[in-house]
Structure 1
Amino acid sequence: MGHDHSPAKALTATGKHRRRLIAVLAITVGVVLVQVAGAALSGSLALLADAGHMLSDAAGVFIALLAAWIASRPASDARTYGYQRAEVLAALANALILVVIAVVVFIEAIRRLGTAPEIHTGIMLYAALAGAAANLVSLLILRGAQKESLNIRGAYLEVLGDLVGSVAVIAAAVVILFTGFQTADAIASVLIAVMILPRAWHLLRDVVDVLLEATPKGVEVRMIREHIQSVAGVVAVHDIHIWTITSGVPVFSAHVVVEDDVLSARGADQVLDRLASCLGSHFDTAHCTFQLEPASHAEHESHQHA
């Protein structure tokens, strides 16, 4: 016996903020073009690394937008949850792109440490300042939405890293301008590569948790069990499963043992309403399924899970 809400009708967390992502994508692509041109004219690896990082951001945002569109397609008999998990796969691709960018930049920066070419700091500095300003605007655009979606959080973290990277490029340009220490460019490149990896790891870890159907962060099974058992007519609860289809779409299922006289048509309906209300109000879970079982049936149940 179930009580649920079709996830196919729900708008995913990324889908709700498409306009923010489109704005960030336009800003990012514009800055990439400026920084690539600046890197070519100035000879700065750090500026090129920052441009490469921002290009990966643009690719990540584009993938997120594409995934949000795919995820909005309706469910079918073959895919009962629709394509919502596509957003998580997009976040996975984004994390892997970040790792590749970091490794390539790091290797090139190490190669340059002993043979730093002459850098034209004026162009390098102006391009880095433009990147920092654009990243700050993008952060403000994404700030309100980054807690709701893995994809938007990934984009937010990447832009934050870009801002720090732009600051590193600005610092390197200032050092070269006033001291002539050309190796500062390669050092800034190494720092940018090192900053990328931890963010890629955290995003990858969150994606793996979703793909492995781990219990969502902040959700305690013990507390949910206590709330369900406090509902009138409920005797016990077992086989609890909590997982996430995609960002903002948690799913819950459980076997709920109730008093035998509760399983009349009216009694069962009331219990289901109370259980759904409990999950929705306390744990923000709208997509829940309950299997009601009479207490007299408990001896036939094999409790495999929590």
Structure 2
Amino acid sequence: MAGVGAGHEHGVTAGADRRWLTAALVLIVAFMAAEVVLGVLAGSLALLSDAAHMLTDAASIALALIAMRLAARPPRGGFTYGFRRAEILSAQANGLTLLLLAVWLGYESVRRLVNPPEVTGGLVLGTALAGVVVNIAATWLLSRANRTSLNVRGAYQHILNDLFAFIGTAVAGLVIVLTGYARADAIATLVVVVLMARAGIGLLRDSGRVFLEAAPAGLDTTALGHRLAGLDGVDEVHDLHVWTITSGEPALSAHVLVRPGHDCHGVRRDMERTLRDGYHIEHTTLQVDHADDLARTEAEPYCEQSHGPVHRNVTAPDRTG
């Protein structure tokens, strides 16, 4: 007897308000363009690095808007999951871009520390303070959207962190105005480089885990397997796979053997409830069969080609007798 249970909660971006995200995107892009011009006029690498960081902010918001539209498209043809992993592809591209920008800006910062150019401190200070105001406004706009969406929440945190970069640039501008210490601009840029590198590495690491079909970070799959095998009526759980479809959407599949005399469907429902309530895994595919009455040994497994560790119920009857 076989049963398949599936939980299908795919509304990652459901309820998010596109108007608030679009308004924040327009605000950030407009200021970013102005900052590039002012950075060139002031000769400030810190302003240009802030503009590069704001580019990643704009990309994260644009990604959220795109993901909302893609999520509304039902799976079809060969794309059985739809286009849910477009977010992960964009995350990898974004992470790589951040790292490349960090390398370039880091090189320029060191060069300017050795031979500091003339920097217009007042223009740097004024632009950075304006950037703080713009980021606060963009943060408020995103806070009006539905942050239960992982994309919206990620964009919100990204812009919030960008405030630190602008604060650092403002401090550098103030130092230049008061003391004429031009190297403060390069030092502030190095702070931005650290933030960019940290964000880029994090994006590449997290997206890489998804593409490698790794279990969600922090999930102990061995403990999960033991817990499922210990449920009432379960004899064995094998071929247990846990992966992530896209950000915030874990999925699980497993072959479950139920003791003779127990209800397969009842065991499946208990297992789904455990996964949903204890692990927030709602996308599940469970093949549930009754265990044979015949004795089995390690040399004669239920599946000839097992794809992972076997988790057995320690209270199950001895199959070797």
TM-score range (shorter-chain normalised) is: 0.7 to 0.9
Do the aligned partners of 1:154 and 1:203 also contact (CA within 8 Å) in 2? no
What corresponds to 1:84 in structure 2? 84
Structure 1 residue corresponding to 2:270, chosen from 262, 268, 274: 274
What code does the residue aligned with 2:268 have? L
| Shift in CA distance, 18/89, structure 1 to aligned 2, threshold 3 Å | farther
What corresponds to 1:283 in structure 2? 279
In the alignment, the residues of structure 1 paired with residue 107 and residue 17 of structure 2 have an alpha-carbon distance, to the nearest angstrom, of 35
List runs of 5+ in structure 1 lacking aligned partners.
Answer: none
Task: Report deviation, 1:282.
Answer: 1.3
Task: Report deviation, 1:153.
Answer: 5.9
Deviates more, 1:281-290 or 1:68-77: 68-77
Question: TM-score, with normalisation over the residues of structure 1?
Answer: 0.86
Task: Report deviation, 1:272.
Answer: 2.1
Do the aligned partners of 1:72 and 1:83 also contact (CA within 8 Å) in 2? no
| Shift in CA distance, 222/194, structure 1 to aligned 2, threshold 3 Å | closer
What corresponds to 1:131 in structure 2? 131
Runs of 4+ residues deviating >4 angstroms: 139-148, 151-154
Cα distance per residue 1:156-189 (max 9 Å; x no partner):
4542442221112111111111111122212222
Do the aligned partners of 1:15 and 1:69 also contact (CA within 8 Å) in 2? no
Deviates more, 1:269-278 or 1:125-134: 269-278
State the identity %. Answer: 37
Cα distance per residue 1:20-76 (max 9 Å; x no partner):
543432332132133223323322221121112212321232134223422432112
Task: Report deviation, 1:78.
Answer: 0.8
- 3-state SS in 2 of match to 1:261: coil
| Shift in CA distance, 100/60, structure 1 to aligned 2, threshold 3 Å | farther
What corresponds to 2:98 in structure 1? 98
What code does the residue aligned with 2:265 have? D
Query: What is the aligned length?
Result: 298
What RMSD over aligned residues (CA atoms) do the two structures have, in Å? Answer: 2.6
- 3-state SS in 2 of match to 1:77: coil
What corresponds to 1:4 in structure 2? 6
What corresponds to 2:30 in structure 1? 30
In the alignment, the residues of structure 2 paired with residue 146 and residue 199 of structure 1 have an alpha-carbon distance, to the nearest angstrom, of 20
| Shift in CA distance, 211/147, structure 1 to aligned 2, threshold 3 Å | farther
What corresponds to 1:255 in structure 2? 255
In the alignment, the residues of structure 2 paired with residue 45 and residue 214 of structure 1 have an alpha-carbon distance, to the nearest angstrom, of 39
In the alignment, the residues of structure 2 paired with residue 147 and residue 231 of structure 1 have an alpha-carbon distance, to the nearest angstrom, of 32
In the alignment, the residues of structure 2 paired with residue 190 and residue 61 of structure 1 have an alpha-carbon distance, to the nearest angstrom, of 25
What corresponds to 2:315 in structure 1? none
| Shift in CA distance, 56/221, structure 1 to aligned 2, threshold 3 Å | closer
Do the aligned partners of 1:67 and 1:90 also contact (CA within 8 Å) in 2? no
Alignment of 1:1-306 (within 5 A): 1-6=3-8, 10-12=10-12, 14=13, 16-17=15-16, 19=18, 21-139=21-139, 149=150, 151-152=151-152, 154-156=154-156, 158-262=158-262, 267-296=263-292, 299-302=301-304, 303-306=306-309
What code does the residue aligned with 1:67 have? A
| Shift in CA distance, 102/160, structure 1 to aligned 2, threshold 3 Å | farther
Do the aligned partners of 1:64 and 1:90 also contact (CA within 8 Å) in 2? no
Greater fraction of residues in helix: 1
| Shift in CA distance, 146/207, structure 1 to aligned 2, threshold 3 Å | farther
Task: Report deviation, 1:90.
Answer: 1.3
| Shift in CA distance, 127/152, structure 1 to aligned 2, threshold 3 Å | same
Do the aligned partners of 2:258 and 2:264 also contact (CA within 8 Å) in 1? no
Deviates more, 1:241-250 or 1:131-140: 131-140
In the alignment, the residues of structure 1 paired with residue 100 and residue 68 of structure 2 have an alpha-carbon distance, to the nearest angstrom, of 24
What corresponds to 2:316 in structure 1? none
List runs of 5+ in structure 2 lacking aligned partners.
Answer: 310-321
Deviates more, 1:269-278 or 1:293-302: 293-302
What code does the residue aligned with 2:162 have? D
